């Protein structure tokens, strides 16, 4: 994981006003190895459900740590006012060298803390982080079409659906469902 010591910050605003509670103090800071047990507690039910991420639902904690932390360029966690770790995201290049100026990210919010705008704050924070790291765009490759809350949140935060992949995700409950490709540019004005 790349150093990200300068990315620690607190975000109190949210563009997802309809869902967010902007007054909730929420610290978003870089992941530390001691966070892993709490991060795994967030990730495990999401991976096991097999509804949003393509990872093996039987993934082990060790495999999940490689996937979420080791293979990422930056990992952040969101901590609420009581010190509870309520969310996390990873950020990494979406492709090899000649596509590495496009970022990819993934987000998880603890089940009991959803519908409070935390996903939106993580998304906004990840966009800031991506800009700071020099990425020119962010792309989600396999947004499960049944993940309506996620799709709406990302659209509110500037992402656009650029394509639909028929039956590209094997949903654990619904079998083969469509997946979306979503993209957001991070640079303004004419190309250099």
Point out which span in 9-17, 28-36, 69-77, 156-164 binds a copy of itself (CB under 8 A): 156-164
Is 185 near a copy of itself (CB under 8 A)?
yes
Q: Dihedral of the CA atoms 161, 109, 115, 148 (nearest 10)? A: 30
Work out how close the CB of 188 gets to a copy of itself at its nearest, in angstroms, rounded to a whole number: 13
Phi-psi region of 143 (alpha: psi -120 to 50; beta: other; left: phi over 0): beta
Structure token digits, residue 98: 């000649």
Residue 25 or 54 with smaller CB distance to a copy of itself? 54
DSSP symbol at 136: S
Task: Report the alpha-carbon distance of residue 15 to residue 124 in Å, rounded.
Answer: 9
How many residues make contact with a copy of itself (CB under 8 A)? Answer: 38
Element (H, E) at 129: helix 118-132
Instruction: Tell which one of 15, 101, 114, 152 touches a copy of itself (CB under 8 A).
Output: 101
User: Which range of residues in 4-12, 38-46, 104-112, 184-192 is near a copy of itself by CB under 8 A?
Assistant: 184-192
Residue 12 or residue 95: which is nearer to a copy of itself going by CB? 95
**Contact assessment for residue 10 and residue 79, using Cβ atoms and an 8 Å cutoff:** no
Residues engaged in binding a copy of itself (CB under 8 A): 50, 53-57, 95-102, 136-137, 139, 141-142, 162-172, 175-176, 179, 181, 183, 185, 191-192
């Amino acid at each position: 994981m790349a150093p990200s010591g300068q990315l620690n910050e607190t975000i109190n605003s949210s563009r997802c006003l309809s869902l967010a509670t902007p007054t909730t103090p929420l610290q978003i800071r870089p992941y530390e190895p001691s966070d892993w047990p709490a991060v795994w507690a967030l990730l495990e039910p999401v991976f096991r459900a097999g509804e949003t991420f393509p990872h093996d639902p039987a993934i082990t904690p060790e495999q999940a740590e490689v996937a979420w932390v080791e293979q990422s360029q930056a990992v952040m966690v969101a901590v609420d006012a009581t010190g509870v770790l309520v969310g996390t995201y990873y950020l990494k290049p979406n492709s090899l060298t000649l596509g590495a100026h496009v970022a990819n990210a993934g987000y998880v919010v603890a089940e009991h803390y959803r519908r409070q705008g935390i996903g939106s704050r993580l998304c906004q924070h990840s966009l800031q982080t991506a800009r700071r790291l020099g990425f020119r765009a962010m792309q989600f490759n396999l947004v499960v079409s049944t993940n309506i809350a996620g799709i709406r949140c990302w659209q509110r935060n500037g992402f656009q659906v650029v394509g639909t992949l028929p039956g590209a995700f094997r949903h654990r409950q619904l079998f083969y469902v469509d997946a979306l490709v979503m993209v957001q540019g991070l640079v303004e004005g004419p190309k250099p």
